[in-house]
Amino acid sequence: MAERKGFNIRRQTGFATIAVACFVLLYLPILLLVAYSFNSGSSIAIWEGFSWRWYQSAWENELVQEATVRSLVIAVWASLISTTVAVLAALATTRTRKFKGQGAVFAMINQPLMVPEIVTAVALLIFFAMIKVATGYSGLLYLIIAHAAFCIPFAYLPIRARLQGMDLSLEQAAADLYATPFQAFRRITLPQLWPGILAGAMLAFVISLDDVVITEFVKSAGQDTLPTYMLGQLRRVITPEINAISTVLIGISVTMVIGFTLLSKIRN
């Protein structure tokens, strides 16, 4: 009697065709965007020869420089804050006994992933508007806090996964040797956890750097980040300079994601 084979989606009729079509639809527009960032002409649809003209134009554009610095400052601070909170949250949900409402806590931490981003953006807009009216302050701190709040679950998930995969015997041995909880964390947990922390921080950095919706709602006048600057330019005139900026952002994002993947694979 022939052995019954289990279900395998790769054996289904048309799987290869559909898979190739999906990859083409996903990545062909990105490849075209990258290619036309090197176009010597001002058209984004007609190739007129190879040139670094638009990269030089973006590099010398003062508005792009200001938006880039602002984006990096916000992303760095947001990733640091969100990663710190994520480490504490991961420890609280993996290194304690199960308690009533733990599922609700997990859902609250991951709320930005489950709620549409525009809902979070509107809620933050209303909340920060009240503070702005009361204090008169309208600086970058609002954007940093908003980005950090949105990035917490992105940093939390790889850190929590790392903690769940770690052997508890070393931490238990440290406790048996009268180490305080902080000493056990600093000498035992943290050295094993650092790949997860770095992976979470890198993922939070990329999410913050690329964010448009929350930034567009929360920012004050003159606080454009690189993505919102590009959005504003698209509403006026489209030139390959936008392609050049997008290509650089793609390069940064791909590099960070590759780093995140490699760090996630590091074993104890």
Return the percentage of the chain with pLDDT > 70, whole number.
96
DSSP, residue by residue, 153-178:
HHHHHHHHHHHHTS-THHHHHHHHTT
**pLDDT at position 78:** 95
Q: Which residue has the higher pLDDT, 244 or 6?
A: 244
Q: State mean pLDDT over 127-143.
A: 90
Return the percentage of the chain with pLDDT > 90, whole number.
23
Answer whether residue 214 is part of any domain. yes
Q: Where are the alpha helices (DSSP H) in the chain?
A: 15-36, 53-60, 62-94, 102-109, 111-114, 117-135, 141-164, 169-176, 181-184, 190-210, 213-218, 226-236, 240-265
Examine the pLDDT at 38 and tell me if it is beyond 60. yes
The domain of 93 spans 55-265
Q: Which residue has the higher pLDDT, 76 or 260?
A: 76
Measured from the Cβ of residue 36, the count of other Cβ atoms closer than 10 Å reads 21
Answer whether residue 210 is part of any domain. yes
Answer whether residue 27 is part of any domain. no
Question: What's the pTM value of the predicted model, to 2 decimals?
Answer: 0.82
b/e per residue 84-121 (b: at least 16 CB within 10 A)? ebbbebbbebeeeeeeeeeeeeeeebbebeeeeeeebb
Output the domain CATH number for residue 127: 1.10.3720.10
Euclidean distance between CA atoms 31 and 23, whole angstroms:
12
Structural domains of the chain, count: 1
**pLDDT at position 268:** 52
Beta bridge partners of 50: 39
Could you tell me if 128 and 218 are in contact, meaning their C-beta atoms sit under 8 angstroms apart? yes
Answer whether residue 6 is part of any domain. no
Euclidean distance between CA atoms 89 and 94, whole angstroms:
9
Closest of 123, 205, 117, 195 to residue 159, by C-alpha: 195
**pLDDT at position 246:** 87
Answer whether residue 256 is part of any domain. yes
**pLDDT at position 4:** 56
Answer whether residue 25 is part of any domain. no
Answer whether residue 8 is part of any domain. no
Place of tokens 């001002």: 42
Confidence of residue 254 (pLDDT cuts 50, 70, 90): confident
3-state secondary structure of 211: coil
Place of tokens 């290194």: 95
| Structure token pair of residue 16 | 């290869």
**pLDDT at position 266:** 66
Q: State mean pLDDT over 197-222.
A: 90
Answer whether residue 49 is part of any domain. no
**pLDDT at position 74:** 95
pLDDT tens digit sequence for 48-105 = 888 888 898 888 888 888 999 999 999 999 999 999 999 998 888 887 777 777 777 7
